[in-house]
């Protein structure tokens, strides 16, 4: 079957969107001539802007309820796809026009991680069950932003810290991030702080205690500008958030600290990605020395 038009129905959150990119990459390997349309949320779908084989992004607006869903279906039915890959599997794929549909309802075996779960959807067309790395694509403007933002820093051994998260129980205390930065200062030339506007106070706590040169970019970057900045760093430490997934996809050594949740399923995907969780499951109980030792072991083998 010749495949030239593919629709991938993706997931919502930033980290979830990054974890779907191995499916996109494998589909591109299998069908290099195909253009891929992606259904995604407005904010997280910005991650696909510079994907070289992207057709178009169709935004899903959850706030519009059933009216928004009907409008989305009507728009998608304008195209007859050769292949639809539905990573959500809420039934929408069966209302669209396609020669073939792959969904979680008829998938192959899969492992514990979310990436393996997503890849199982395309098991029928994926000989050898190959799983590519996650990907993050940046453009010239984002790379120029990173070059300018980091131009005054000395050296190249830069440690990125992301102290924010979307839920307080997933947030390691900012004071512990600050203590971590001081404990490993001999290994790095500078600190780079990343996050959204809500993370400014946490980043200020770290910056105010830092003896290393520090660039605080909390609330100052777009998603792709943050990705370009992370790609320039030597290592990353952060909470369970989209930034950790972006760092791992950029290929840098990534250490994620977890509180509640299932880290074995949702940790960043990559050869250089590791994670920690406290014995109690409470993130505030994770000791600084434990994170220091894991970070030092990670950079020693990277």
Each residue's pLDDT tens digit, 56-90: 999 988 777 778 889 999 999 999 999 999 999 77
Q: How far apart are CA 235 and CA 302, in angstroms?
A: 9
190-218 average pLDDT score = 97
Q: What percent of the chain has pLDDT over 70?
A: 100
Q: Would you list the domain boundaries of the chain?
A: 5-129, 141-300
Q: How far apart are CA 159 and CA 206, in angstroms?
A: 13
CATH number of 141-300: 3.40.50.2000
* Predicted pLDDT at 123: 93
Confidence of residue 38 (pLDDT cuts 50, 70, 90): very high
Each residue's pLDDT tens digit, 97-108: 999 999 998 787
Q: What is the chain's mean pLDDT, rounded?
A: 95
Supply the DSSP symbol for 132. Answer: P
Under DSSP, is residue 56 helix (H, G, I), strand (E, B) or coil? strand
- The answer, yes or no, to whether residue 162 has pLDDT greater than 90, is yes
Confidence of residue 279 (pLDDT cuts 50, 70, 90): confident
Name which of 26, 23, 55, 59 is nearest 40 in CA terms: 59
Q: What tokens appear for 27 in the block?
A: 């589909």
Q: How far apart are CA 201 and CA 130, in angstroms?
A: 42
Q: How far apart are CA 204 and CA 202, in angstroms?
A: 5
* Predicted pLDDT at 208: 97
Q: How far apart are CA 55 and CA 81, in angstroms?
A: 12
Where does residue 23 rank: exposed (0-12), middle (13-18), buried (19+ CB within 10 A)?
buried
- How remote is the C-alpha of 109 from its chain's centroid? 24
Give pTM, 2 decimals: 0.95
Each residue's pLDDT tens digit, 213-243: 999 999 999 999 999 999 999 999 999 999 9
Residue 132 burial (CB count, 10 A): 16
Does this chain's domain 5-129 share its CATH topology with 141-300? yes
* Predicted pLDDT at 66: 76
Each residue's pLDDT tens digit, 281-290: 899 999 999 9
Q: How far apart are CA 254 and CA 274, in angstroms?
A: 6
Backbone angles phi, psi at 131, to 5 degrees: -125, 110
Report CA-CA distances (Å) from 172 to 17, 200, 237, 248: 23, 15, 11, 19
CATH (one of 3.40.50.2300, 3.40.50.2000, 3.40.605.10, 3.40.718.10) for 5-129: 3.40.50.2000
* Predicted pLDDT at 261: 81
* Predicted pLDDT at 109: 74
Q: What is the SS3 string spanning 195-250? A: CCHHHHHHHHHHHHHCCCCEEECCCCCCHHHHHHHHCCCCEEEEECCHHHHHHHHC
* Predicted pLDDT at 221: 98
* Predicted pLDDT at 244: 98
* Predicted pLDDT at 102: 96
């Amino acid at each position: 079957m010749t495949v030239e038009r593919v629709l991938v129905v993706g997931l919502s959150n930033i980290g979830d969107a990054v974890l779907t990119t191995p499916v996109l990459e494998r589909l591109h390997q299998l069908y290099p001539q195909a253009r891929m349309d992606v259904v995604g949320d407005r904010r997280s779908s910005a991650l696909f802007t510079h994907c070289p084989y992207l057709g178009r992004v169709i935004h899903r607006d959850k706030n519009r309820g059933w009216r928004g869903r009907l409008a989305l279906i009507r728009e998608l039915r304008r195209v007859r796809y050769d292949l639809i890959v539905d990573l959500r599997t809420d039934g929408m794929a069966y209302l669209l026009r396609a020669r073939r549909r792959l969904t979680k309802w008829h998938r192959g075996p899969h492992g514990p991680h979310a990436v393996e779960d997503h890849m199982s959807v395309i098991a029928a067309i994926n000989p050898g069950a190959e799983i590519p790395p996650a990907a993050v694509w940046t453009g010239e403007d984002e790379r120029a932003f990173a070059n300018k933002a980091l131009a005054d820093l000395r050296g190249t051994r830069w440690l990125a810290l992301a102290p924010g998260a979307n839920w307080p129980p997933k947030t390691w205390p900012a004071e512990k991030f600050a203590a971590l930065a001081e404990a490993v200062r001999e290994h790095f030339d500078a600190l780079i702080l990343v996050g959204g506007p809500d993370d400014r106070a946490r980043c200020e706590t770290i910056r105010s205690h830092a003896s290393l040169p520090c660039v605080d970019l909390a609330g100052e970057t777009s998603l792709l500008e943050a990705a370009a900045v992370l790609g320039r760093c030597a290592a990353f430490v952060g909470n369970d958030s989209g930034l950790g997934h972006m760092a791992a996809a950029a290929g840098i050594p990534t250490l994620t600290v977890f509180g509640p949740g299932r880290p074995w399923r949702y940790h960043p995907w990559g050869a250089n990605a590791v994670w920690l969780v406290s014995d109690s499951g409470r993130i505030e109980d994770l000791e600084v020395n434990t994170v220091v030792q894991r970070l030092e072991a990670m950079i020693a083998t990277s």
